[in-house]
A = this chain, B = another copy of it.
Amino acid sequence: MAPALSPLAPSNFPEMPEIAGVRMATASAGIRYKGRADVLLALFDKGTTAAGVFTRSKCPSAAVDWCRDKIKAGKARALVVNSGNANAFTGRTGREATRYTAASAAKAANCKPGEVLLPSTGVIGEPLDARAFDRVMDDLVAAAKPGGFEAAARAIMTTDTFPKGATAAAKLGDATVTICGIAKGAGMIAPDMATLLSFVFTDAPIAAPALQALLAKGVLDSFNAVTIDGDTSTSDTLLAFATGAAAARGAPAISRAADPRLKGFARALDAVLKSLAEQIARDGEGARKLVEVIVEGAASARSARRIAMSIANSPLVKTAIAGEDANWGRVVMAVGKAGEPADRDRLSIWFNGIRVAHKGMRDPDYDEAAVSGEMKKQVIELKVRLGIGQGRDRVLTCDLTRDYVAINGDYRS
């Protein structure tokens, strides 16, 4: 029943250093899965700042409602993630479950309920029995220790085929600070499941508003530039935690996102977010090819993003790539339906650097055999030049295979 490892999976989980001020533990609460960890607890030292970015769904989960509200205070002492039940569309009982869980975690971790963040993933529409956490909470707090990112990444998986992690270091003043991030899969991974979750931890001393600004900016070209099936989850949650522990090693405390000393950190954060986002595309349901869609020469960057997303979400473009066909006519179709400024007769299209269409028609010089060879590869770069303006953007997706339909549709048969 468990899907096979994605052929696009990285060869190994990266080596990830400890983050001073963060301790973690995982446990099996048996909410949905048996014989594997399904709860992650992270504890943060006093003074840890927090920031978050959430799904734009108009129907978010109770867990998202809780996190969005609590993150406003800009601080956190505990993170409790469960991968068995998304606590989505559970009405009043869902709100009660978040309150109960936060109270239980706060008691065990000796903090306030409002300092506990509770992202959830898993089954939707099933009431969450929050008492399930009671059985494991004290043990989790007792077991929490530095490091353990791979175990944490595994505990938040639903039917992701591999754990996702990324790390980077940056200079902040004269000190080196570290960023570690984990994530779980995009798209609806298995029956009744939703959710993209990602958590990023750093020892850098950064005030919450600055961390929030960096995160909101960083998400634009990472998680917001990935699509598997165009179906926005009701549970998407990205949280960042900055313990500030590096201040003891001389890292300056940063209060504003515009502080020039943040430049290296922002770059490192972006790298972590982009790596995690790419890993999510590589673990898209049924994916056999990673597709990078590049749009150039659009009326604006925003227009380029919309056109790139129209291409990346087109079932016909994605099935053509699954069929290893450089079907540029479908790309023109997807450009045309985006509704953005475009001129058919100025369009050029490349697959893996080979121009197949030029000025709105088939490139007379292109070598069919060479393109066919490129289309057999695991990574496909699909580039469109519009010839309208200077707008440019890039998004990641995967191909649409029969396995996607099987994973999402055939499980009852």
The answer on a CB contact under 8 Å between A315 and B229 is yes
The answer on a CB contact under 8 Å between A60 and B336 is yes
- CA separation between A195 and B90, bound complex, in Å? 43
Q: How many Å from the CB of A352 to the closest CB on chain B?
A: 16
Which of the residues B59, B339, B357, B410 comes within 8 Å of A332, measured between beta carbons? B59
Binds B, one of A167-175, A245-253, A341-349, A390-398: A341-349
Q: Main SS of chain A's interface residues?
A: loop
Which of the residues B89, B315, B330 comes within 8 Å of A315, measured between beta carbons? B315
Which of the residues B89, B324, B361 comes within 8 Å of A90, measured between beta carbons? B361
Q: How many Å from the CB of A94 to the closest CB on chain B?
A: 8
Interface residues of A in 326-383 (CB under 8 A from B): 327-330, 332-342, 344-345, 347, 357, 359-362
Chain B residues within 8 Å of A56, by CB: 337, 339
Which of the residues B313, B345, B408 comes within 8 Å of A316, measured between beta carbons? B408
A400 within 8 A of B: yes
Which of the residues B322, B409, B410 comes within 8 Å of A409, measured between beta carbons? B322
A5 within 8 A of B: no
Chain B residue at minimal CB-CB distance from A55: B336
The answer on a CB contact under 8 Å between B57 and A337 is yes
Chain B residue at minimal CB-CB distance from A322: B409
A126 within 8 A of B: yes
How many residues belonging to A are interface residues under a CB distance threshold of 8 Å?
Answer: 74
Which of the residues B321, B336, B404, B411 comes within 8 Å of A232, measured between beta carbons? B336
The answer on a CB contact under 8 Å between A188 and B316 is yes
Chain B residue at minimal CB-CB distance from A193: B329
A138 within 8 A of B: no
Q: How many Å from the CB of A402 to the closest CB on chain B?
A: 4
A88 within 8 A of B: yes
Q: If the complex has contacts A57-B337, A344-B59, A400-B405, are A125 and B192 also in contact, measured as CB distance less than 8 A?
A: no
Q: How many Å from the CB of A298 to the closest CB on chain B?
A: 12
Chain B residue at minimal CB-CB distance from A410: B323
- CA separation between A192 and B317, bound complex, in Å? 11
The answer on a CB contact under 8 Å between A408 and B90 is no
Q: If the complex has contacts A58-B340, A60-B344, A408-B315, are A332 and B89 also in contact, measured as CB distance less than 8 A?
A: yes
- CA separation between A183 and B124, bound complex, in Å? 41
A6 within 8 A of B: no
Chain B residue at minimal CB-CB distance from A86: B329
A132 within 8 A of B: no
A230 within 8 A of B: yes
A231-B315, A234-B336 given. 5 additional CB < 8 A pairs?
A: A57-B336, A58-B338, A58-B342, A91-B359, A322-B405
